[in-house]
Amino acid sequence: MTSWTRTHQNPEIKALIMAQQSTLDYLISVIEPPGEHRIPHNYFEKTLEQAKSAADTLVQIHYQHNCLDSGCGQWQPKDQEI
Protein backbone atom coordinates (compact mmCIF):
# COMPACT_ATOMS: atom_id res chain seq x y z
CA MET A 1 0.00 0.00 0.00
CA THR A 2 1.29 3.45 -0.89
CA SER A 3 0.43 6.37 1.38
CA TRP A 4 1.07 10.10 1.76
CA THR A 5 0.87 12.44 4.75
CA ARG A 6 0.77 16.19 5.32
CA THR A 7 1.14 17.85 8.71
CA HIS A 8 -1.38 20.64 9.41
CA GLN A 9 -1.24 23.35 12.06
CA ASN A 10 0.70 21.21 14.57
CA PRO A 11 2.39 17.80 14.53
CA GLU A 12 -0.72 16.10 15.98
CA ILE A 13 -2.92 16.93 12.97
CA LYS A 14 -2.02 15.05 9.81
CA ALA A 15 -3.94 14.40 6.63
CA LEU A 16 -3.40 10.83 5.46
CA ILE A 17 -4.06 9.27 2.05
CA MET A 18 -3.72 5.57 1.30
CA ALA A 19 -3.89 4.03 -2.17
CA GLN A 20 -6.29 1.09 -2.21
CA GLN A 21 -4.95 -1.42 -4.73
CA SER A 22 -8.08 -3.56 -4.70
CA THR A 23 -10.43 -0.73 -5.72
CA LEU A 24 -7.94 1.63 -7.44
CA ASP A 25 -9.00 4.62 -5.36
CA TYR A 26 -7.62 6.60 -2.41
CA LEU A 27 -8.77 6.39 1.20
CA ILE A 28 -8.67 9.71 3.06
CA SER A 29 -8.25 9.96 6.80
CA VAL A 30 -7.01 12.48 9.33
CA ILE A 31 -4.83 11.80 12.35
CA GLU A 32 -6.17 14.05 15.10
CA PRO A 33 -4.96 15.11 18.55
CA PRO A 34 -5.64 12.54 21.29
CA GLY A 35 -9.28 12.53 22.38
CA GLU A 36 -10.62 14.39 19.34
CA HIS A 37 -12.79 12.64 16.77
CA ARG A 38 -14.23 15.38 14.59
CA ILE A 39 -13.53 14.03 11.14
CA PRO A 40 -15.37 11.12 9.47
CA HIS A 41 -13.32 8.20 8.23
CA ASN A 42 -13.54 6.02 5.12
CA TYR A 43 -13.83 8.83 2.60
CA PHE A 44 -12.61 7.96 -0.92
CA GLU A 45 -11.53 9.80 -4.08
CA LYS A 46 -10.55 8.45 -7.51
CA THR A 47 -7.28 10.36 -8.12
CA LEU A 48 -4.36 11.30 -5.89
CA GLU A 49 -4.81 15.03 -6.56
CA GLN A 50 -8.54 14.85 -5.71
CA ALA A 51 -7.65 12.95 -2.53
CA LYS A 52 -5.05 15.55 -1.48
CA SER A 53 -7.51 18.38 -2.04
CA ALA A 54 -10.32 16.58 -0.19
CA ALA A 55 -8.04 15.71 2.75
CA ASP A 56 -6.87 19.33 3.07
CA THR A 57 -10.51 20.49 2.91
CA LEU A 58 -11.53 18.06 5.67
CA VAL A 59 -8.77 19.37 7.91
CA GLN A 60 -9.75 22.99 7.19
CA ILE A 61 -13.42 22.35 7.99
CA HIS A 62 -12.62 20.96 11.43
CA TYR A 63 -9.34 22.75 12.28
CA GLN A 64 -9.57 26.13 10.56
CA HIS A 65 -6.18 27.74 9.98
CA ASN A 66 -4.07 29.43 7.32
CA CYS A 67 -1.54 26.89 6.06
CA LEU A 68 0.93 29.63 5.11
CA ASP A 69 0.86 31.15 8.62
CA SER A 70 0.72 27.82 10.46
CA GLY A 71 3.76 26.28 8.79
CA CYS A 72 1.91 23.29 7.37
CA GLY A 73 4.09 20.74 5.65
CA GLN A 74 4.06 19.51 2.08
CA TRP A 75 2.55 16.22 0.97
CA GLN A 76 5.18 13.50 1.48
CA PRO A 77 5.22 9.77 0.79
CA LYS A 78 4.75 8.22 4.22
CA ASP A 79 8.09 6.40 4.12
CA GLN A 80 9.83 9.79 3.59
CA GLU A 81 8.01 11.61 6.41
CA ILE A 82 10.25 13.69 8.66
Query: Tens digits of per-residue pLDDT, 11-62?
Result: 889 999 999 888 889 999 888 888 887 776 678 999 999 999 999 998 888 8
Burial status of residue 76 (CB atoms within 10 A of its CB: 0-12, 13-18, 19 or more)? middle
Asked if residue 10 is part of any domain, the answer here is yes
Asked if residue 19 is part of any domain, the answer here is yes
pLDDT band at 80 (very low <50, low <70, confident <90, very high): low
Asked if residue 11 is part of any domain, the answer here is yes
Q: What is the pLDDT of residue 36?
A: 83
Q: Give CA–CA dist 16/78, Å, rounded.
A: 9
Asked if residue 82 is part of any domain, the answer here is no
Asked if residue 29 is part of any domain, the answer here is yes
Domain that holds residue 13: 3-77
Domain tally, the chain: 1
